[in-house]
Structure 1
Amino acid sequence: MESSSQSSIHYAYCFEAKSVQSYLFAGSKLRHLVSASELLERLTDSILDTVTSAFSDSLKICEPAHYKGANNTAVFARRSAGAFYLVSPNRDSLTRLRLQVNLLVEDYLPGLSWVDDVSSQPEPTPYQAVKACLQTLNQQANINYPNLPVAPPIISLCERTSEPALAESNNSDNLDASLFIKEYLQKNNRESFFNRLADVNTDDSLHTKLKWPLDLENDFPSWDKNYIAIIHIDGNGLGQLLMSLQEAVKQNEQEYLSLYPEFSAKLKQATEASVKQAINTLYKDSHFYGARPIVVGGDDITFMVRAPEALYFTDAFINAFEVNTELLIAELRNNLPTSVASALPVCLSACAGIAFCNISAPFSRVYERAEELCDLAKKYVKSQALNSDIGEVASSIAFEQLNETPVNEYQAGEMGKYQCAQGGYLSLEVYHTGRLNRGQLPSLQGLIGLGSVVKQNKLRGKLKDYFDKRKNTPKIAEDFADKLAYKHPNIIADINCALDELYQGKTTTDKTHLFTIQKQGNLHSPLADLIELINMGAI
């Protein structure tokens, strides 16, 4: 047995999964996606617990507060979905642990790419050990290793991934190593991660009937539209917050193990709590979930949601996330030097990309578009220097219906399909949500209110006619709008009230020429956004 004497040297073993999206969406079936998410969550949970328990004599895992650098001890500096950093004075044991982890990942998560390493030189503090190891990982990030098994010249291939087939499914589909594991997990109905997010109703008789859907055609509750939404939400301000933590650690490196692991754990709790609150808001009185978690970790999540609930789920999550992270940051501020604490944001906001699609659309391509739309929302709010008075970036949402236009025909943010013949655009692109000052952003709640007016007055057909005229012959569209205002003044009054909320009363043109606002030197209207959402049953 190793000596338990104290040590002033530290090594780090760092592991990070990469190309996670490729692993998650391989196979393009919902059940494979579900199993991949569950396996990725287990990687740094039960699978990691299994392998570290085999080294309990030489690597006894301690809580950060109890780690004193004894030779037979170790501590996690980070442990989150897809990544972990383990610090110990015992480099030999860390090296042997790395070999064991590599074997387990190959067995349990074939198809997943990762980088990992053990720092080669002793460092005086855990912070320096992790920093040195991460520098090596950055050098490995662009190295592509071959996937095993390698296909010989004559072999059956998995039709969905083009990888060597190892078995057949019940439907006689060829399965590669990754899909075989995912099928096995799904058959055994093991969903500990997702069930942890299922805290919806305390009524046991109701709770037992609730389940996450596993099949788009059968498990997702039916409605009159066959649209779903892939939602990708990413937090704003985490980079600034981590820089503040790093500054605090530079002032006192002994604080590293007390700050980083605790912050990582509490951020995870805040994100999962926000998911639960959003789910509870939508489904507290339901006997089903119209949603499916894909990734929940750190400050970002990816969900699959029925189209009718997509906007409402996103809005509920972002509002809860702002509240929960405000509490987290207030607590963190009390543990940091004043010079560092003053630079912390009030809360973390978030931007979302929502890609609406038909249930038959390929998940991987739809997810890519959801990420692009999220990036579009982030870039837009940052470029507008919103909330400059308090130094915060507002939460925002960008969305798009994909099945009408082939994916990748144009990039997110290029407004060609919304452009009018004589200038201007029929989309507002990005909408505000959350509690922070929205600056000049149009309001998501205003758009939903406008949709309610259109639906209540059965104006969808007239709105579509107006949209077609507006896009191609603006003069005819103006005449059409004038006639509508003359025949239905009460409806136009309701529309104008909704527009006041949508635009914060800042319209710059005649509102009877429907829904137009000046934005970045061009005339913009939410017509295309409104029609798409109504057609999909999303509002």
Structure 2
Amino acid sequence: MTYCYLFEAKSIQSYLFKTGKLKDVIAASERLDVLVDDNNSVLIEVLEQLGYSHNLADKEARGEIKFLRCKGAAFFAYSNDKAPLQALRNIWTLTVLQLFPGLEFCDALVYGEDGPDKETNEPSKALQNAIKLGQQRLAADRNQAKVNLPLAPAIAEVSQRTGNAQVPTSKLARFAPKEEVEFERLDLDTDLHRQAYELMNLKHQGALQGKYSPNEQKYTYPIDLENDFDFSTEQNAHSGKQNDERKDIALVHIDGNGLGIILRKLNKALKDADESVYANAYRTFSEGLAAATQKAAQAATQLVADYGQTNNRLAMRPLVLGGDDVTLLIRADLALPWSEKFCEVFKQTSKEALASTVKVIKQYGDAEVTKDIKDYLSASGGVLFQKAGHPFTNSHHLVEGLCEKAKRLTKQIDNNVGPAALSFLRLSNTATQHVEQVIKQNVTVTLEELEKLTTALPAYLVEPHSHYPCLADLYHLFDVCTQPSTPMTMSKWRQLLTHLSLGDMAEATRIYARALTLAKGKKSELEDAFNQLSKSQNDTTWYWQQDGEWFSPLSDLMVLERFYFKPVDAVEAQ
């Protein structure tokens, strides 16, 4: 009989952005980063207090408590005895509730025995049965309502930003200006974040930001978007834009594709393998995936070090790096290049990290398990452009929605491990609705001829694949539209968009047709660029039908006009 204890924090993005203040986001992300991931983590301290031997720091070590996974604010532990895991559960949940009162989490303590799998009736070992049952219990626990302490009844003072019960502001949390501390009511979570902000010296350092820094260089990251963040670019300086006009920032969220597929294949291949083989394979996969994500983040951050650095400070702010997830704030013109670079490098680093896992699956799995297995993972994400002064309280919901749109395109192409994709959107005002409603309000127009036309594509592939739109084709179209002799300049496209927003499709069509009539040798180049992007068989050029809906990339071209950046161009400029 084998006992397993599984713990997983959930709704981390919502927890980070709860107050909408950057200093609280920074403190919460740095605190969560040392929850389970590091040799100096909170989990290590809890295990030392328990007094049980373990293999958290060294997977080869023997111990009463062994770990299969310990990354990304989650861990799976197992033991041949229930007592160590029961003690761990008791003190660990108490610790999390004290350090992170508002953090949602789920956990499960289960046991398994050698015997047939209850669903497939195939032979399975005790540890494998326990892990499968534990994951089912975790899924069930996610739907259970949790009570957060301290409670906030009707007669209690509440935090104005979060709605949680107010607590007396601690001395360490009083680092803000006197007038802010005097009038701001803090809940317990925020107060703890403010304490950590001072104690951990997050103004100048942080374990999480070190994970993003490439080549072991010590870079600093801004903590004040209004005063410390460098928004200047060659493009802005050349066009003479004022400071307030160029304070655009992007929130990036990227998530891996195919993780669940690999884990399911691993579980099937090793369902009746020796316990040590299964545990080692699972842990190797977990640690390798975390390393692959970190390497990809560092490679992408090198772009910022090259083109967005001022006095060793980078124009970005890391927020999350755990498992196959990354979230960060970054200067707007660097957001798409950073995201593309991350996706490209992650495909390579994940291949290196998965080598041993794929080898084990092929060694132990049958033909059905090894069928169509891929030796790499991909990543898809969302990029939300907005003003730096806009609140981030709801931005994470929008960028997660954009990420889901990109992942839908990835799964549409290949439900196994599809190609990397990115979805992006620019907002000029704040929004609290679901991403689909935001898209409907901002980039969808109602027309009598087409019913509705969305002037931004749902997502773009990072690398060309078959007949699907990719970023390279969008960049090519933008280059064609910005050539001096182009028949449709960006100002004409803006004029066309204005008529579309008024529902005047006839005038929009006339503007385009008139421009092509006056074109001198550039008509075919523009049409070819549109056809290369759309891969469409329609007679129309600048808009086309896709999955029963009408789309056009005109709003995406407007985003590129404001934020287009090529690293090679920056080198030439220097």
* Interval of TM-score (by shorter of Structure 1 and Structure 2): 0.7 to 0.9
Matching of residues 93-492 of structure 1 within 5 Å = 93-119=84-110, 125-151=126-152, 154-168=155-169, 169=174, 170=176, 171-172=180-181, 173-188=184-199, 189-190=201-202, 191-200=205-214, 207-208=217-218, 210-223=219-232, 224-254=245-275, 255-284=277-306, 286-287=309-310, 288-338=313-363, 339=367, 340-383=369-412, 386=413, 392-404=417-429, 406-408=431-433, 411=436, 415=440, 417-419=443-445, 421=447, 422-423=449-450, 425-435=453-463, 438-455=465-482, 457=484, 459-470=489-500, 472-489=503-520, 492=523
Residue in 2 aligned with 1:534?
561
Residue 537 of structure 1: CA displacement? 6.3
CA distance in structure 1 between the partners assigned to 2:325 and 2:8 by the alignment: 17
Change (3 A) 1:186 1:449: farther
Partner SS for 1:119? strand
Question: Mean alpha-carbon deviation: is it higher for 152-161 or for 31-40?
Answer: 152-161
Q: 1:11·1:122 contact (CA, 8 Å) conserved in 2?
A: no
CA-CA distance at 1:316 after TM superposition: 0.9
- 1:80 positional shift: 1.2
SS of residue matched to 1:335: helix
For residues 302-341 of structure 1, give each alpha carbon's deviation from its aligned partner in whole angstroms, at most 9, with x where no partner exists. 2222211111111111111112122333443222235344
1:495 is paired with a residue whose SS is helix
Once residues 154 and 145 of structure 1 are traced to their aligned partners in structure 2, the CA distance between those partners, rounded to angstroms, is 21
Distance 1:500 1:461 in 2: 21
2:347 aligned counterpart, secondary structure: helix
C-alpha separation between the residues in 2 aligned to 1:413 and 1:238? 29
Distance 2:102 2:361 in 1: 41
Structure 2 vs 1, CA of residues 411 and 195 (structure 1 numbering), >3 Å: closer, same or farther?
Answer: closer
> Residue 348 of structure 1: CA displacement?
1.5
Q: For residues 432 and 60 of structure 1, do their structure 2 counterparts lie closer, same or farther at Cα, with a shift above 3 Å needed?
A: closer
Cα 1:443/1:75, change in 2 over 3 Å: same
For residues 410 and 48 of structure 1, the distance between their equivalents in structure 2, rounded to whole angstroms, comes to: 36
8 Å contact from structure 1 (residues 325, 348) kept in 2: yes
User: Which residue of structure 2 aligns with residue 84 of structure 1?
Assistant: 75
Distance 1:375 1:535 in 2: 25
Residues 443, 503 of structure 1: 8 Å contact kept: no
Which residue pairs with 1:3 in the alignment?
Answer: none
Unmatched 5+ stretches in structure 2 = 115-124, 233-244, 567-574
CA distance in 1 between counterparts of 2:402 and 2:430 reads 15
Aligned residue type for 1:371: E
What's the TM-score once normalised by structure 2's chain length?
Answer: 0.81
In the alignment, the residues of structure 2 paired with residue 21 and residue 522 of structure 1 have an alpha-carbon distance, to the nearest angstrom, of 32
Deviation (angstroms), 1:217: 0.9
Q: Distance in 2 between matches of 1:498 and 1:29?
A: 43
Q: Partner letter of residue 218 of structure 1?
A: N
**Residue range with higher mean Cα deviation, 124-133 or 301-310:** 124-133
Aligned-pair distance for 1:260? 0.6
In structure 1, C-alpha distance between the alignment counterparts of 2:528 and 2:95, rounded to whole Å: 60
Q: CA deviation at 1:51?
A: 0.9
Change (3 A) 1:283 1:232: same
Root-mean-square deviation over aligned CA pairs: 3.0
Deviates more, 1:278-287 or 1:493-502: 493-502
483-492 or 369-378, which deviates more: 483-492
Residue type of the alignment partner of 1:375: E
Report the CA distance between 1:264 and its aligned residue: 0.5
Q: Which residue in 1 is equivalent to 2:236?
A: none
What is the CA–CA distance in structure 1 between the aligned matches of 2:477 and 2:494, rounded to whole Å?
A: 15
C-alpha deviations, 1:116-159, integer Å up to 9, x for none? 34336777733333334444433332222322122466543221
Verify the 8 A CA contact 1:387 1:439 in the aligned structure 2.
no
Q: Distance in 2 between matches of 1:33 and 1:461?
A: 39
* Cα separation, partners in 2 of 1:466 and 1:319, compared to 1, 3 Å: same
For the residue of structure 2 that corresponds to 1:17, the secondary structure is strand
CA distance in 2, matches of 1:127, 1:63: 22
Deviation for aligned residue 1:291 = 1.8
Identity, in percent, stands at 26
With structure 1 as the length reference, what TM-score do the two structures score? 0.85
Distance 1:211 1:258, change over 3 A: same
Q: Deviations 1:385-423 (Å, cap 9, x if unpaired)? A: x269xx652221222223357441772696574235221
Q: Within 1, Cα distance between the matches of 2:127 and 2:414?
A: 38
Equivalent position amino acid for 1:484 in 2: A
**SS of corresponding position for 1:408:** coil
Q: Which runs of 5+ in 1 are unaligned?
A: 1-8
* Distance of aligned partners of 1:257 and 1:231 in 2 relative to their CA distance in 1, 3 Å threshold: same
Distance (Å, rounded) in 2 between the aligned partners of 1:510 and 1:26: 46
Counterpart position of 2:120? none
Distance 1:128 1:465, change over 3 A: same
C-alpha displacement of 1:49: 0.7
> More deviation in 374-383 or 28-37?
374-383
Q: Does 1:524 align with 2:551?
A: yes
Q: CA deviation at 1:48?
A: 0.5
Letter in 2 for 1:306: R
1:326 is aligned with what amino acid?
Answer: K
User: In the alignment, is the contact (CA less than 8 A) between 1:59 and 1:73 conserved in 2?
Assistant: yes
Distance in 2 (CA, whole Å) between partners of 1:448 and 1:236 is 25
